[in-house]
Amino acid sequence: MVYNSNFNVSVTKKEVVAAALPLQEHYLPHSNLDLLLPPVDVGVFLCYQKPAAASDQATTDEHYATFGSMVNTLKAALSEALVSFYALAGEVEQNLAGEPELICNNRGVDFIQAFADVELRKLNLYNPDDSVEGKLVPKKKHGVLAVQATELKCGGIVVACTFDHRVADAYSTNMFLVSWSEIAQSKIPSQQPCFRRSFLFPRRPGHYDLSVANMYVPISSLPLPEPAGVEEPLISRIYCVTAEQIRHLQSQANDYSKKDVTKVEAFCAFLWKTVASGKSRRNFKNFRLGIVVDGRTRLSSGDENKAKSFKGYFGNVLSIPFGEKTIEELSENPLTWVASAVHEFLEEAVTREHFLGLIDWVEAHRPEPAVAKVYACSGDGAALVVSSGQRFPVRKIDFGWGKPAFGSYHFPWGGQSGYVMPMPSPKGNGDWIVYMHLQKEEVELIETYASHVFKPFTSDHLNFD
């Protein structure tokens, strides 16, 4: 397959979509866990085939009418969805303490229509830097959410969104995407969002374990940045990992004298060890691995009513525990040892007490902004963060013209730490789609030493009916 990376995207219309019903303007404070997020945006995009109802013999006018009807469906459903998900139609401002705060004013969502002169099969999804970045996923210039609907040359459509991470984590984003698609099909949304910030209020008096202080750090306590040097740019790639390879990794990583490690733990251990084994020891001594943990089920543990509400909680409920080992340790020890290290540092953050302590830790340091310590590496260390996207409901996001042929998050976040997001394949066969944003050297290491696991994404992996 010859891919087309030089295609053009032309914007045909820009407008603002607001909630269908009026909203009383009000402020929604960020929770203490929201305050741990820097001002970064996260993208997600979904690729759909040409609808079956659209005839191949359609005239040009009819072809555009088909795209027009899809756009009208998207906009009408979005307007209705924003009634419940009103936070996405607002704006983030600074309050008097200098902290971000959400003003729910129904400012609306920027909605872009575009045309790309490329067929879905010829999109080079393996290299989203060429095919997606700046083309199919919109840059958010205002508000909390931006949407772009792009018609493809083949009659397919790409629906992409960019969210302010300070307002929504991946769980919240997924909930919105499913509700939006359900409304588009005239269904009652299966989950209503909950903005009850009291769930994440600090305790009085607050208290936290030292392990929390080892995971997060006030920005003011970080050393001054060294003079800017020539930093290697990070690049994005998308891979497919088969279900068979995932099971094999889990089998290799398990130490049967202890508790079995999960598939995600085994995957993270393999990735940590693979990248470390090829790192130049002249440049790096230590290597940190962080794993994003969702706290919703942990915080509601043992409380059935709270669990029901937390299932719909909209906002950030995340922690990033991490482990730090030397390059030598990761290179020379077996995968079972690395997997055990992953399991060990994760154990500290999968409890209710950890998240309650994290909320209290933020309260004790407000209004001083803080950052996850995994990102605050010294000059002799590197860092990699894995954010599990296994709950990405790609197969559920059907706006009325079929399930996606492909879907992925897109997060070239701008820092120097690597970011990896494994997600389920839209085929529903147990395969994983893995988005990576890493240093070029790290990508080359993965493709050199782990090419049997990470297969570059091709059109053969698309979920065509």
Q: Residue 416: its pLDDT value, please?
A: 84
pLDDT of 369 strictly over 80 = yes
Distant-in-sequence, close-in-space partners of 7: CB < 8 Å, separation ≥ 6: 116, 117, 118, 135
Q: How far, in Å, CA of 302 to CA of 187, rounded?
A: 32
Q: How far, in Å, CA of 348 to CA of 236, rounded?
A: 30
Mean pLDDT throughout 268-279?
91
Q: Residue 103: its pLDDT value, please?
A: 97
pLDDT band for position 58 (cuts 50, 70, 90): very low
Poorest-confidence range of 142-146, 167-171, 228-232, 363-367?
228-232
Beta partners for 161? 44, 147
pLDDT of 56 strictly over 70 = no
pLDDT band for position 225 (cuts 50, 70, 90): low
3-state secondary structure of 130: helix
Mean pLDDT throughout 237-250?
97
Poorest-confidence range of 127-136, 201-210, 270-279, 322-331?
270-279
Which pair of structure tokens corresponds to residue 272? 């940590």
pLDDT band for position 220 (cuts 50, 70, 90): confident
- What is the overall mean pLDDT for the chain? 91
pLDDT in tens, 291-348: 999 999 999 877 777 788 889 999 999 999 999 999 999 999 999 999 999 999 999 8
pLDDT band for position 255 (cuts 50, 70, 90): confident
pLDDT band for position 5 (cuts 50, 70, 90): confident
Q: Residue 226: its pLDDT value, please?
A: 56
pLDDT of 61 strictly over 60 = no
- Note whether 9-200 and 226-461 share their fold: yes
Mean pLDDT throughout 239-259?
88
Query: What would you measure as the largest C-alpha separation in the chain, in angstroms?
Result: 70
Using an 8 Å Cβ cutoff, are 331 and 276 in contact?
A: yes
pLDDT of 62 strictly over 50 = no
Quickly tell me which residue has 């970045």 as its tokens: 133
Q: Residue 44: its pLDDT value, please?
A: 98
152 φ, ψ to 5°?
-100, 160
pLDDT in tens, 415-426: 889 999 999 999
CATH class assigned to 9-200:
alpha beta
User: How many of the other CB atoms lie within 10 Å of CB of 229?
Assistant: 6
Type of residue at 106: N
The strand ranges marked E within 30-177 are 41-48, 91-94, 100-104, 109-116, 145-152, 157-164
pLDDT band for position 1 (cuts 50, 70, 90): low
Q: How far, in Å, CA of 203 to CA of 452, rounded?
A: 49
pLDDT band for position 223 (cuts 50, 70, 90): confident
pLDDT in tens, 298-308: 998 777 777 88
User: How many of the other CB atoms lie within 10 Å of CB of 6?
Assistant: 8
Higher pLDDT, 400 or 5: 400
3-state secondary structure of 49: coil
Quickly tell me which residue has 């050297």 as its tokens: 441
Distant-in-sequence, close-in-space partners of 97: CB < 8 Å, separation ≥ 6: 366, 367
Strands 418-424 and 26-29: unpaired
CATH code, 226-461 = 3.30.559.10
pLDDT in tens, 145-197: 999 999 999 999 999 999 999 999 999 999 999 999 999 999 999 999 999 99
Q: Residue 64: its pLDDT value, please?
A: 41
Distant-in-sequence, close-in-space partners of 242: CB < 8 Å, separation ≥ 6: 430, 431, 455
pLDDT band for position 55 (cuts 50, 70, 90): very low
Cα angle 274, 276, 281 (rounded to 5 degrees) comes to 145
Domain range annotation of the chain: 9-200, 226-461
* CA-based torsion, 74, 77, 83, 86: positive or negative: negative
Mean pLDDT throughout 132-143?
96
Predicted TM-score of the model (pTM)? 0.93
Using an 8 Å Cβ cutoff, are 253 and 339 in contact?
A: yes
